[in-house]
């Protein structure tokens, strides 16, 4: 059920420290690897949100044991995947794209379905690839079924991953369990969000899997075992971005503890984007601290590899001084919603001047007024509305509960950041 939420305006500059839960991208990759590992694994400080709970539930459905440990951890004991089973993908791209290659290792029929919008998200690239590798797959989008025979031969496959890096990651995560391993070659326009593939490769290698990515647009995974994980999940840097943006738009200062010095998370790029817009950043033992300027400035930025930050950057751009151009993000039309069309409609509705281009948006700040901000069941659209509400009184987000997809308790965190005032 939707929950309209009046985004609280900032009555003064934000000064706060905000602890952010674990990375969704790392948590869901770790869950899949743990499910395929040679023994039990422990994930400490995992993100517990709709997307990750859907992944854990799906693995349980396939015969993997995922239980709560004595602390803030998940204990995962692998089991031979089997059907019959039904996987609820919700609106999680990681579930609908990471689990089909694993389901091909199962014995029996596995049915996949999800939210109505999930049935519109690009998925046929992975399913066609699995068919070419010998899997029995019925359907090209949700809902679909996989009739598993208990294993996959593997080999080589060429795909067009220009719509999502998750197509590559999904195939790589299970590839070591295929009899001959797997080589994935991309043939098409550039792959978006390459840091996410780098994250997948690094996590595979950390568990003893041999991965060769020396040739551009080609990834080869050798067959073999996956070592059990003992992993503490680092904070979700993309989820941290709206809180850092709050300091930037109010001329305040905000610290996110535990920010890693080195990471494969695409959200780390928010540091240099905020600096380009006039904020200052400092990374030290306390974490990452952002200090906002007197006035933000517009930015011309290619977000092709960091598209998940686009709603946050678009909100910042609408509150900046000068025009902003956000480029390289045509693939965002296939995310939880068509994010380019959604951002243009919602920013325009509050008074900004926004032009949509084949590969992105131009945002020209104009005097803004309060009004309804539609979330489109998209967590990042909802948090973008909250950023705008800091400076645009009367902004009402039509459904704030969609933030539970990756950031449960967002409203309370946001209010606490503002000193508990509404």
| Residues of the binding site | 24-25, 29, 93, 121, 164-166, 193, 308, 335, 339, 380, 405
Binding residues for phosphoenolpyruvate: 24, 93, 121, 166, 339, 380, 405
Note if the bond before 14 is cis, omega within 30 degrees: no
Answer yes or no: 353 catalytic: no
- List Cβ neighbours of 60 (8 Å cut-off, separation of 6 or more): 66
Q: Return phi, psi of residue 383, to 5°.
A: -70, -30
Find the farthest-apart pair of alpha carbons in the chain and give their distance in angstroms, rounded: 62
Q: Which two tokens stand for residue 61?
A: 């459905």
SS3 state at 293: coil
User: Based on the number of CB atoms within 10 Å of its own CB, is 40 exposed (0-12), middle (13-18) or buried (19 or more)?
Assistant: middle
Binding residues for 3-phosphoshikimate: 24-25, 29, 164-166, 193, 308, 335
Neighbouring CB atoms inside 10 A of 172's CB total 25
Exposure string (b/e) for 385-405, b if CB count within 10 Å is 16 or more? bbbbbbbbeebebbbbbbbbb
Q: Single out the residue of 115, 91, 89, 119 nearest to residue 103, CA to CA.
A: 89
Phi, psi for 215 (deg, rounded to 5): -95, 130
Q: Which residues in 300-322 are b (16+ Cβ under 10 Å) and which e?
A: ebebbbbbbbbbbbbbbbbbbee
* Catalytic pick among 234, 253, 305, 308: 308
Active centre residues (catalytic): 308
């Amino acid at each position: 059920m939707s929950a309209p939420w009046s985004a609280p305006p900032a009555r003064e500059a934000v000064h706060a420290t905000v602890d952010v839960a674990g990375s969704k991208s790392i948590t869901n990759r770790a869950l899949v690897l743990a499910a395929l590992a040679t023994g039990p694994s422990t994930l400490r400080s995992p993100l517990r949100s709709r997307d990750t709970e859907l992944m854990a539930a799906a693995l349980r459905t396939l015969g993997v044991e995922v239980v709560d440990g004595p602390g803030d951890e998940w204990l995962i004991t692998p089991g031979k995947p089997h059907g019959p089973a039904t996987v609820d993908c919700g609106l999680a791209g990681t579930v609908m794209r990471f689990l089909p290659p694993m389901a091909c290792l199962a014995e029996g029929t596995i049915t996949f379905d999800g939210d109505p919008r999930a049935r519109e998200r690009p998925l046929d690239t992975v399913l066609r690839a699995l068919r070419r590798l010998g899997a029995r797959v019925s359907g090209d989008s949700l809902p679909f079924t996989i009739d598993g025979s208990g294993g996959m031969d593997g080999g080589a496959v060429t795909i067009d991953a220009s719509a999502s890096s998750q197509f590559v990651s999904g195939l790589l995560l299970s590839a070591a369990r295929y009899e001959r391993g797997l080589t994935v070659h991309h043939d098409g326009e550039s792959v978006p969000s390459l840091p996410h593939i780098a994250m997948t490769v690094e996590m595979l290698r950390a568990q003893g899997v041999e991965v060769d990515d020396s040739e551009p647009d080609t990834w080869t995974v050798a067959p073999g075992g996956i070592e059990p994980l003992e992993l503490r999940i680092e904070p979700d840097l993309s989820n941290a971005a709206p809180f850092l943006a709050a300091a930037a738009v109010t001329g305040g200062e905000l610290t996110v503890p535990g920010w890693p010095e080195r990471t494969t998370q695409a959200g780390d790029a928010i540091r240099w984007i905020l600096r380009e817009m006039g904020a200052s950043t400092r990374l030290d033992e306390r974490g990452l601290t952002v200090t906002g300027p007197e006035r933000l400035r517009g930015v011309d930025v290619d977000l092709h590899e960091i598209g998940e930050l686009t709603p946050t950057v678009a909100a910042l751009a609408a509150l900046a001084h000068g025009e902003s151009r956000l480029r390289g993000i045509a693939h965002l039309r296939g995310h939880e919603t068509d994010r380019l069309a959604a951002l243009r409609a919602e920013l325009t509705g509050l008074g900004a001047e926004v032009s949509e281009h084949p590969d992105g948006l131009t945002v020209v700040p104009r005097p803004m007024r309060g009004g309804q901000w539609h979330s489109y069941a998209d967590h990042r659209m909802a948090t973008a509305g909250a950023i705008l509400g800091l400076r645009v009184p009367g902004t009402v987000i039509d459904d704030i509960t969609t933030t539970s997809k990756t950031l449960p308790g967002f409203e309370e965190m946001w209010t606490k950041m503002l000193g508990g005032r509404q």
